[in-house]
Structure 1
Amino acid sequence: MNVFQSIAAALSPQGLLWTLLIIGVATFLHELAHYALAKKQGVGVKSFSVGMGPVLFKQAWRGTEWRLSLLPIGGYVEIDGMAPEEGPGGVYRSPTRGFAALPAWGKVAVLLAGPLMNLALAIGLMTLTFTSQGVPAPDRARIEAVLPGSRAQALGLRAGDVVTAVNGRDIPDTYTVDGQPRAGWETLRDTLATSGPKTLTVERGGQTREVAFDWRAQVNGERQRLGIEYRPDVQPASVPTAFVTSLTTTAEAVPQILRAFGGLFARFFTLDLSRDENVSGPIGTAEIVSQAAALSPWALAQVAVLLNLSLAFFNLIPIPGLDGGRIMLVLVGALRGRPLTFAQEQAISVAGFAFVMLLMMFVVVRDVSRFF
């Protein structure tokens, strides 16, 4: 099997379609937010493209040329006054109208609108998911399956049982191991990593029972398994509860996302092509979406949440060429009391754009290299 066959085997047509749809919607709404904030402040928008590359269809409406382009990846919005304008003698200069004429807060509002739209979309999808599926209860571990012939089966444990306490102590919401936070339900795994008498407090059908047993974590150097599959329990939630849970989940995800981006930059500067589970390229993303599509619509919603959160925070990184980099240049100009010169801004923007392109190429190369 060659590389192309290996990649094709890892993907599914359904997964590819869902990948394009999820990324397409995320990008469209991101650009639509830039468009809306610009128009709200009286700034013209020359064009709005869904997709990139050659234009397949275009239609003028409300002063904007709306385009459908060939490549179904991304999109763009061309806001008046963001690109250099041609002066006398064909010499380009900094724009003086449209976006360029806005006060600093107005420019920041236009630039910030895109990432905030992706953030809002992620929170909205999470709220919908939690309202429909329930909110995770990190202090309760639900047994999903009991392996036949296992120690768990001999102890009378069943799928659907909920473990609420271990060794007489209620499972906490969170705990820390080696300085790293963990959800409370994971304490069950750490408890079984050591030998000795164990007691699980189990809820079943509204009744509580104690399951006590002696446990040996290893036998003849081989790790023993209780024989259960488990995950956090879920509790029904109202819309307000689901919304608050979405906000706290987003806040908890921020450090993880920032660490993932930090790891990506470290690998980029050291040219480390080893696989990183925290950051996926286009093929890896399509693989994840393919797997989610085979599970349920709610699994796809979770992937869409992660993609929108990643898009929001990646665009806020202060690298010229990204929304965060442009915001940084606006703020620098406001602090100086005057904008950067055309030459300065162009040099910084070109360098930032080149860096982003190299970073994207690195992600793609690393994504493909694992198939060799």
Structure 2
Amino acid sequence: MEILLYVGGLLFVLVGLGVSIALHELGHLVPAKLFGVHVGQYMIGFGPRLFSKRIGETEYGVKALPIGGFISMSGMYPPSPGEQEDAAQSRSRGAFRSLIQDARAANDETIDPERATRVFYLLPVWKRVVVMFGGPFMNLVLAIVVFTVLLSGIGVQQGTTTIASLSECVLPAGSTQTSCTSSDPVAPAAEAGVKPGDRIVSVDGTAVSTFAEASAIIQASPGKTIPLVVSRDGADVTLQLTPVAAQRQQVDGNGRPVVDDKGHPVVHTVGYAGVYAQLAYVKQPANAGFDQAMTNAGAVVQLIGNLPVRLWDVGVSLVTGTPRDPNGPLSVIGVGRIAGEVAAADAPLLNRFAVLLGLMGSLNIALFVFNLIPLLPLDGGHIVVALWDGLKRAWAKLFRRPPPAPVDATRLVPLTIVVAGLLIAMGALLLVADLFRPVTIG
């Protein structure tokens, strides 16, 4: 059964990735067709074609490797200037010139003379930006929908004001005891008469609606006797609670331990009562999905900014066998392994499904941000080319000069190949690391 659940998690990621890619390419396809561009192919995946069908002037299909997709638009770049050089002439001018010439030849093949006006490069700048931004935008929309379902539909698991259990005693800080002895002091909540099933109504005269609110007041009241009102069997009962002083390590807003200049943990004194809350899924406001998507996008931008360092750390972990950073980059294999572990985990079904949804939302945010990197062959690179073309035209118009020729992005083919090579190398490193030194949820 565990193996079947693990495989189910893998399939969840593969299907989710396929849907994400399909919607990404649909985000390019729909505006391209609306703007009249001839689109020859809409393909999900790379490699050998599994199946395809031509509908109208476009061939729709699926290929064997589900690691991306593409649409083939006529005239992504302006046609070659003048006569094409032959192969010998191209080679004589160097490898880079040869690459540029080959790219121009391939681009020219997409321009059908009968559809010479239905080419991408002739679109106004804003339409080109819309076409290229459409793909990442669809990933963003999908992520927002997923996070909204997760946070506003299912909810966030939080401690409620209902008491699940109590500590019988107060154990010394750092103690490894697992049970109370007669010499251990009674926990404040048990001494005050709190019982499992009680629902906290107010603490120290302040009404509370979440366990976090109640806990904050208790922690701020070490050694102070405060009234605690609980609802028990339909009636309010007022108890007197005296939280004991306890040392707790301080954490920052992200839940990470705070350390001083010497690297020692920073501790502070808080009130401790010894109560534990029942957990429940609490539905969040409708805008929580959008907020979560933006938070994740910021985290991905930060990760990309530190990507060389993160990749170096992955390589070190792979060679030395040290544990990998769980917040570092992953390949599709790594995401699939985590999804499999989540699906097979010993946890309630809803909990596992919620984690898988969060994983899929984060994956789409990663696709959204990564594709907007302003380098060819990524969508962000095409957007920069379109904006540069628009800037040149605006500059010429401002000074009443003749319209310049369209920007010839084929000149950037050598740089594009370098970027593509780096992307392939990064993918290979992460793939090997996820196979032999994987990140686990352990």
Same structural fold, with TM-score higher than 0.5 when normalized by the shorter chain: yes
Superposition pairs for residues 101-116 of structure 1, below 5 Å? Answer: 101-116=122-137
Q: Are the counterparts in 1 of residues 149 and 289 from structure 2 also a CA contact under 8 Å?
A: no
Greater alpha carbon shift after TM alignment, 350-359 vs 48-57: 350-359
Q: Whole-Å Cα distance in 1 between the matches of residues 433 and 216 of structure 2?
A: 33
Give the aligned partner of residue 284 of structure 1. 334
Q: Residues of 2 paired with 1:330 and 1:200: CA distance? A: 66
Instruction: Say which is worse superposed, 206-215 or 100-109, in terms of deviation.
Output: 206-215
Relative to structure 1, the CA distance from residue 122 to residue 371 in structure 2 (aligned partners, 3 Å threshold; closer, same or farther) is closer
Higher mean C-alpha deviation, range 262-271 or range 203-212:
203-212
| Whole-angstrom distance in 1 between the partners of 2:202 and 2:430 | 42
Instruction: Give the structure-1-normalised TM-score.
Output: 0.73
- Cα distance in 2, alignment partners of residues 331 and 160 from structure 1: 63
Checking the alignment, whether the CA contact within 8 Å between 2:297 and 2:366 is kept in structure 1 is no
C-alpha contact (below 8 Å) 1:82/1:99 kept by paired residues: yes
Distance, in Å, in 2 between the alignment partners of 1:322 and 1:135 is: 35
**Paired residue for 2:365?**
309
Question: Which of 140, 144, 169 is 1:123 aligned to?
Answer: 144
Question: Who is 1:80 aligned against?
Answer: 74
Is 1:234 matched up with 2:290?
Answer: no
**CA offsets 1:23-53 (integer angstroms, 9 cap, x no match):** 1111111111111111111111111122321
Matching of residue 62 in structure 1 with residue 56 in structure 2: yes
Matched, 1:215 2:263: no
State the identity %.
27
In the alignment, is the contact (CA less than 8 A) between 2:199 and 2:231 conserved in 1? yes
Paired position in structure 1 for 2:153: 132
Larger radius of gyration: 2
- The alpha-carbon distance between structure 1 residues 77 and 43, as it changes in their structure 2 partners (threshold 3 A), is same
* Pairwise CA RMSD: 4.4
Quick one: structure 1 residues 336 and 59, their matched pair in 2 at CA, closer, same or farther if it must change by over 3 Å?
same
3-state secondary structure, aligned to 1:54: strand
Instruction: Mark the runs of 5 or more structure 1 residues left unpaired by the alignment.
Output: 1-7, 174-183
Name the CA distance, whole Å, in 1 between partners of 2:225 and 2:432. 49
Provide the aligned length of Structure 1 versus Structure 2. 344
Gapped regions of structure 2 (runs ≥ 5): 87-100, 170-186, 249-266, 318-322, 394-403
Structure richer in strand, relative to its length: 1
2:133·2:379 contact (CA, 8 Å) conserved in 1? yes
Range 358-367 or range 300-309, more displaced: 358-367
Within 1, Cα distance between the matches of 2:197 and 2:304?
38
Q: Distance in 1 between matches of 2:303 and 2:242?
A: 41
Question: 1 CA distance for matches of 2:61 and 2:382?
Answer: 25
Q: 2: distance between equivalents of 1:195 and 1:320?
A: 59
Post-superposition offset of 1:170: 8.3
Give the secondary structure class of the aligned counterpart of 1:352: helix
Question: 1:323 matched to which residue of 2?
Answer: 379
Any residues of structure 2 matched to 1:222-371 within 5 Å, and which?
226=274, 228=276, 234-235=282-283, 241-242=285-286, 244-268=287-311, 272-273=316-317, 275-281=324-330, 282-294=332-344, 295-296=349-350, 297-337=353-393, 339-370=406-437
Q: 1:279 to 1:80 in 2, by over 3 A?
A: farther
Task: Say which SS state the counterpart of residue 306 (structure 2) adopts.
Answer: helix
Give TM-score, length-normalised by structure 2: 0.63
